[in-house]
Amino acid sequence: MDVVVLINPTHPEGQLVDAASPHFSPLAQGIARGDGIFETMWYDGTRVKKVDEHLWRLRRSAGLTGMPVPDDDTWRRAVATAMAHWRPEDADGTLPGEAMVKLMVLRGYAPENPDGYAWVTVTPAPAAVRPTGPIRVALLERAFDSGTMGRAPWLLLGAKTLSYATNMAALREANARGAQDVLFTTSDGYVLEGPTSSVVVRQGRKLLTTDPDIGVLPGTTQRVLFRAAAEAGWETGLARLTPDDLRTSDGVWLTSSVRLMTPVAFLDDTPIAMDQAVTDELLALLLSTD
């Protein structure tokens, strides 16, 4: 059963509404033009994970887009209301007991609703978002260089917006090439991120990820993993990574809230080193966090 909880001033704990009924004006800019932001959190069957990280990143996206958003306490109350009404269903094609908890914000339509809309959804987590084994990843150019974010902040690089048409087109292109996912690159040869994931690279006992300054969304799962790994004795850092850095590494993973960690077996047609024991170690560190 899907759950939808709207946030509005008359319902401080959030308003439970019918998920199958319309609740927003079709004139809202978030609907008509994709002008909105969101976060997807993971419910592991016992609790919603990494709430602080996702609220931090939502505020970051709000700042980049100039989007008004509710305060953190309001979001937390709405999430609690949503989870109180969610009942897991062990349907085919889902991860039993697990759910995706989304925080959504749409820009409104002045003068009807200039402050926009905010709500929480809870839906069963589809099994397809968590591959069961290593994957093949295609490198695709994103058609901007590593300095674009600084020169053109209005392109909203590094914000988690609703405008995912390019990301979905990239995944279709990867599938046409026989790959299951994508890593974007800049026009000057640096690795960015996946359409729905961050990249983590291993060099011995060091873990690296792309420096957000070149135009990527900071990964909540990657950030939590790096903190846990550092406490366990790993070295971690940000870097301007090239495809050759990945090809010659000791391991590459794609990370996100629901997929967790997916090992990369091939980058285009180049095999990537893999070590199941290291994957198990890092996944255990990730799962040990809140």
Structure tokens at 105: 């914000």
Pick from 81, 101, 126: which residue ends a domain? 126
Please report, for residues 16, 54, 152, 227, 228, the alpha-carbon distance to residue 207 in angstroms, rounded to integers and kept in the order given.
42, 22, 29, 11, 12
pLDDT tens for 63-108 read 999 999 999 999 999 999 999 999 887 666 788 889 999 999 999 8
Q: For residue 273, which of 149, 134, 159 has the smallest C-alpha distance?
A: 134
CATH number, domain with residue 111: 3.30.470.10
pLDDT of residue 69: 94
DSSP 3-state of 81: helix
Same domain, 158 and 58: no
Supply the mean pLDDT for the chain. 94
Structure tokens at 262: 């997916």
Same domain, 58 and 164: no
Whole-number Å distance between alpha carbons of 186 and 1: 41
Whole-number Å distance between alpha carbons of 174 and 157: 22
CATH number, domain with residue 145: 3.20.10.10
Whole-number Å distance between alpha carbons of 261 and 264: 10
Same domain, 147 and 264: yes
pTM above 0.85, yes or no: yes
Same domain, 172 and 278: yes
pLDDT tens for 107-165 read 988 766 767 899 999 999 998 889 888 999 999 999 999 999 999 999 999 999 999 99
Question: Which runs of consecutive H residues, i.e. helices, occur in the chain?
Answer: 29-32, 51-65, 72-85, 148-151, 165-176, 220-231, 243-247, 276-287
Total domains in the fold of the chain: 2
236 C-beta neighbours (distance < 10 Å), count: 18
Q: Which domain range does residue 48 map to?
A: 3-126
